[in-house]
Amino acid sequence: MSRVSGASDETGALQRIGSVIRECRRETHLSQEALADAAGIDRSHMGKIERGERNVTLLNLIRIAGALGRLPSTLMAQADL
């Protein structure tokens, strides 16, 4: 990936972390609703995070990772971030 940051890179980054969250959620056999509830995040917001449509905050990433039993840094590294 280019080191030059731009809008499309940023969209790609959000999409990658969303995809990693979705993959981990499916491996953990959780529905999107169950993950949202476990993480204390609004269900529709969780859907937007998984689709890369929201700029997820650090605290929400920590909550999601905790609900998935992963480290946030591991999720980030899996997303090539």
Residues 18 to 77 in contact with its own copies, rule: CB under 8 A: 55-59, 61-63, 66, 71-74, 76-77
How many residues line the site for its own copies (CB under 8 A)? 22
Q: What CA–CA distances, in Å, run from 40 to 2, 7, 74?
A: 35, 29, 21
Query: Which position has the token pair 């946030």?
Result: 72
Task: Find the shortest distance in angstroms from Cβ 24 to its own copies.
Answer: 15
Residue 5 sits in the site that holds its own copies (CB under 8 A): yes
Residue 13 sits in the site that holds its own copies (CB under 8 A): yes
